[in-house]
Amino acid sequence: RESGSGAMGGSASLLPRDALGEYQRRSFSCLLSAYKRFSELLPKEERENTCSARVPKSHMLMLPELRANPFQHRICHVFSTSETGDDSMSFEDFLDMLSVFSDSATSDIKSHYAFRIFDFDEDGTLNRKDLEQLVNCLTGQGEESRLSSAEMEQLIQNILEESDIDKDGTINLSEFQHIVSRSPDFARCGSLQG
């Protein structure tokens, strides 16, 4: 085949035919698996319209991967495109979520979405209040695990000293990604693939 012909953007594929076929089979298999998982979250009467249906947040939270996640509500909120603000998810929203939490997602993509999840007030920075909520999610809400005010203040101060490069009292996306880049385990964390 000539270089200027064929599918895939008008040029010959860079993958050998057998590798392309295997990639397509695996991609299709993953897509079918995601479709099946998504449709199982829908009420039975809505399953025939899976592609246009929205799964309620309460059903999304039944996913084993989200059930025990301390950020389950934020994850649903960040990935939902619901115009009503109910955090329901379309099939595309669900695919986006699976994609970000997959092993193949880059550290930049994972850190971008982690930052959005941790930005509780959605102002584009992680401020003291966001950091306090983040710590509370990680340590649990129980009386025995809650940090004292002094411990919380010291922890937040330590986080800001380590992460707040421009010393404005908040952590922006760039600063967050800089810290994440120094953590080789970050990209391997948080798989939602089942």
What integer pLDDT is reported at residue 146 of this predicted model?
84
| Contact of 113 with 126, CB cutoff 8 Å | no
For 171, the 3-state DSSP assignment is strand
* Residue 52 pLDDT > 70: yes
pTM to 2 decimal places: 0.79
β-partners of residue 122 are none
Quick: pLDDT tens for 67-110: 999 999 999 999 999 999 999 999 999 999 999 999 889 999 99
What integer pLDDT is reported at residue 4 of this predicted model?
44
**CA atoms within 13 Å, Cβ hemisphere of 156:** 20
Q: Positive or negative CA dihedral for 26, 30, 51, 106? A: negative
Cα–Cα distance, 156 to 54 (Å, whole number): 38
Domains defined along the chain, listed by start: 23-103 (1.10.238.10), 106-193 (1.10.238.10)
Quick: pLDDT tens for 176-194: 999 998 886 765 555 454 4
